[in-house]
Amino acid sequence: MASVGRRRASPRPSGRPLVVRGLTAAVLAGAFVAQTAGALLPDVPLLLAATAVSLTVEGVLSRWQPVMSSLLAKCHADITVRHVLRDLLLVVGLLRLGEHDREPQFAWPVAGLLVFYALHCAVQAVSVLVRRTRTLPVLTRNIDASTLRLSPAPAALLRRPGHRLLLLGLPTTAGLATAAVTGDPLPAAAGTAVSVVLAAAGLGALLVRLLPSRRPAGEQEVLDWFDAWLDDYRPTVGLYFSGGASSAYQANMWLETMSRLDGRPVVVLRERFMVARIAATDLPVVCLPKVSTLMRLEHSTLRVLIHPSNSGKTSQVLRIPTIKHAFVNHGESDKLSSCNPYAKAYDEVWVAGPEARERYARAGVGVEDKDVVEIGRPQLDAVRPWSGPPADGARTTVLYAPTWEGWDGNPGNTSVVAAGENLVRALLADPGVRLLYKPHPLTGSVEPAAGAADRRIRELIRTANRERPAGASGPAGSASELDRLTAELDRLTAAGVREGADQTERMLIQSAPPPGRAEAVAKATAAWEAAYWASLPRDEHQVVPGVRPVLYSCFNNADLLISDVSSVISDFLASGKPYAVANTSGMSEDAFRAAFPTAAAATVLTPDASGVPALLETVRHPEKDGLADARAELKLRLLGPDEPTSRERCDTALRALSTAALNHRACGEEQAEARHPRSQRLAEDLLPAPRHASDTGTGADAETSRSVTPPSRPAPPG
């Protein structure tokens, strides 16, 4: 059945967009053919109708079909070509209507049309120049950058050539069409005049942006400012992240932990678009797209970088010899990605517990045991421990949180395709179950069948809720209170920038968080989560998409977890509650448990979901739960001991690695002095004083004495 579902689902998500794009292209091509026929015959109704259809399709392409617009541009049929052709056909139609001596009457409209397109090209050229002046070598958040002469972005219309041409050229097109109906050249002349004036005004507005007083700071000025900020803030530990747009969650899950570490933390990004995707935080955020800018960190006080993921750009920052690097991953599981050979490139690999250490040893990927440090999982402080089975008469809340399909094509990665619908049907068939379905945000991003299965699961849940007897349950809390708290949380976490803002404008607006915002966000989040769960009908099944509520909040409201081999089950062990793992790998249960140690204390479910009824019995009657002791033992192996706390172990690991970085730098400077004492002294005489010249002492010894004990973290930088 699962294979049938896969065959049905695969064409749907990929074929439907292709059909829509094909129809759009066909309608657009047909409109131009009809417009050509209307111009040559000439036939005014056909000409006007085809022009209207063509403009309507342009609006559809602009608003809903950006991919199709890109494809047309690659075929040298971009919007400029299409717009010129549309107006040219209108002019041809005008000239063929009526007498043959009408050309002089339309000389001025045609001349105005040429001027308009010349201005359009000029606006585009100046727009590119303005964009370059606003592309800074360093982007920041939560840092005061007011000295860089930042300013709001130009109007979005002036920065988007397609939208600009459509809107500013509309008076011309309307004037030509009106002239075709009336035979009078005046509407055509008036329309082109309006378009010319609008284009000239836009050009003037952009040219003003190129004046020295209106441009942001230049590249060198920005770099000098960044060096000065590093001197002033003196960061000691950073979160380094590089990745695609959908991977921001991997960095976001470490933000709160970073904010609680000893020292002065900073978030270091490489992609410009990622600055806007980092969640609300008071931590200073810097984006350094170029390698040359990144290397300026070598001469800063930064000693340790923490890496939650691997990326192609990681090798660039690993070249900095004065910084030590720790790989923490964004979650631990038995997947191959949790013991990637690339991990041996880091100075240390920070893992949760002994099982991860043994995982690296078994994998034989080159990570030495001495470089593995157990720190626990600091994020799991938010997970509440098990408080007992569901109360008599209460429904058993089951959280089904499958992972996504992954990049390697392994059908055992996710249970959504092969087992998801069977699991959900089995759970919905039990009248005492309340289901929470929280799919991975990347579900369906690689395998279309996973996305189709996800949609079918959501429909099963909606159908089950519709078929529930009326009045069986009602909201336990107030929806209006939830709306109020949602608005409050949105206000606290909103970027505060307008839709058309560019990155430089965002940098200006997000310069410094208001004092106490982090505490206010934490308090508002807790209140929102409580109101969210209280506002839901007590027994209604729920699909929980998006970032709110977070997965750990779902843990706290569930009696049982069903998931796949992923970090979700490792994190859920912190609660001590029962959990199950879907085996869609084709292995026997014994082989599955041997291959995936995180399933050692789990109930292993087959794709047909036949084990669900017995599993629910163990949750409702703890005396039938034979895996409780195994879960406690596995929790210790996967997550480490409760004392010292994970936060304390993380701080200890950070201090040790920081000291190693300082010792390495001091040793390197001593060796350099021993090898080239004369050149070292000459360099000190010729080069500007070090940025820490105001501190007591000079040289490596003074640097070590200043930085061995990281300074306490100040108030959020402003």
- pLDDT tens digits for 382-416? 899 998 888 887 899 999 999 988 776 676 789 99
pLDDT at position 100 over 90: no
Q: Could you report the per-residue pLDDT of 142-201, keeping only the tens digit for each?
A: 999 989 999 999 999 999 998 899 999 999 999 999 998 988 889 999 999 999 999 999
What is the model's pLDDT at position 668? 65
Token match 């010319």: residue?
196
What is this structure's pTM?
0.80
Cis amide bond preceding 171, omega within 30: no
pLDDT at position 298 over 80: yes
Mean pLDDT of all residues belonging to the chain: 86
pLDDT at position 714 over 70: no
Element (H, E) at 581: strand 579-582
Average of pLDDT values for 68-94? 91
With beta carbons less than 8 A apart as the criterion, state whether 568 and 440 touch. Answer: no
What is the model's pLDDT at position 664? 84
The CA distance from 666 to 90, in Å, is: 76
Which 8-state DSSP code applies to residue 238?
E
What is the model's pLDDT at position 152? 94
Q: Which residues contact 656 (CB under 8 A, 6 or more apart)?
A: 373
What is the model's pLDDT at position 394? 86
User: Which one is predicted more confidently, 291 or 517?
Assistant: 291
Nearest to 449 by CA among 411, 494, 475: 411
Q: What is the three-class DSSP state of 245?
A: helix
Q: Which residues contact 303 (CB under 8 A, 6 or more apart)?
A: 236, 237, 322, 323, 324, 657, 658, 661, 662, 707, 710
Q: What is the three-class DSSP state of 241?
A: strand
The CA distance from 188 to 179, in Å, is: 6
Average of pLDDT values for 230-234? 96
User: Which one is predicted more confidently, 604 or 341?
Assistant: 604
What is the model's pLDDT at position 688? 41
pLDDT band at 141 (very low <50, low <70, confident <90, very high): very high
The CA distance from 699 to 682, in Å, is: 14
What is the model's pLDDT at position 448? 87
Give me the helix-helix angle, 161-168 and 170-182, nearest 10°. 30
Tokens of 664: 């390495």
What is the model's pLDDT at position 247? 86
Element (H, E) at 596: none
**Range in 94-108, 268-282, 283-297, 649-663 with the lowest mean pLDDT:** 94-108
What is the model's pLDDT at position 670? 64
Q: Which residues contact 401 (CB under 8 A, 6 or more apart)?
A: 437, 438, 439, 440, 551, 554, 561, 562, 563, 568
Q: Which residues contact 259 (CB under 8 A, 6 or more apart)?
A: 265, 281, 282, 283, 518
pLDDT at position 244 over 90: no
What is the model's pLDDT at position 591? 93
With beta carbons less than 8 A apart as the criterion, state whether 251 and 268 touch. Answer: no
What is the model's pLDDT at position 602? 94
Q: Which residues contact 530 (CB under 8 A, 6 or more apart)?
A: none
pLDDT band at 421 (very low <50, low <70, confident <90, very high): very high
Strands 285-287 and 265-269: parallel
With beta carbons less than 8 A apart as the criterion, state whether 366 and 560 touch. Answer: no
Burial of 453 (0-12, 13-18, 19+ CB in 10 A): buried
Average of pLDDT values for 677-701? 41
With beta carbons less than 8 A apart as the criterion, state whether 361 and 349 touch. Answer: no
pLDDT at position 288 over 80: yes
Torsion of CA 107, 109, 114, 118, to 10 degrees: 140
pLDDT at position 491 over 50: yes
Q: Residue 672's CB: how many other CB atoms inside 10 A?
A: 14
Average of pLDDT values for 455-460? 95
What is the model's pLDDT at position 444? 85
With beta carbons less than 8 A apart as the criterion, state whether 59 and 24 touch. Answer: no
User: Which one is predicted more confidently, 70 or 103?
Assistant: 70
Plot region of 711 (φ>0 → left; ψ -120 to 50 → alpha; else → beta): beta
Q: Could you report the per-residue pLDDT of 351-370, keeping only the tens digit for each?
A: 999 988 988 888 888 899 99
Average of pLDDT values for 605-609? 94
Nearest to 149 by CA among 127, 169, 134, 129: 134
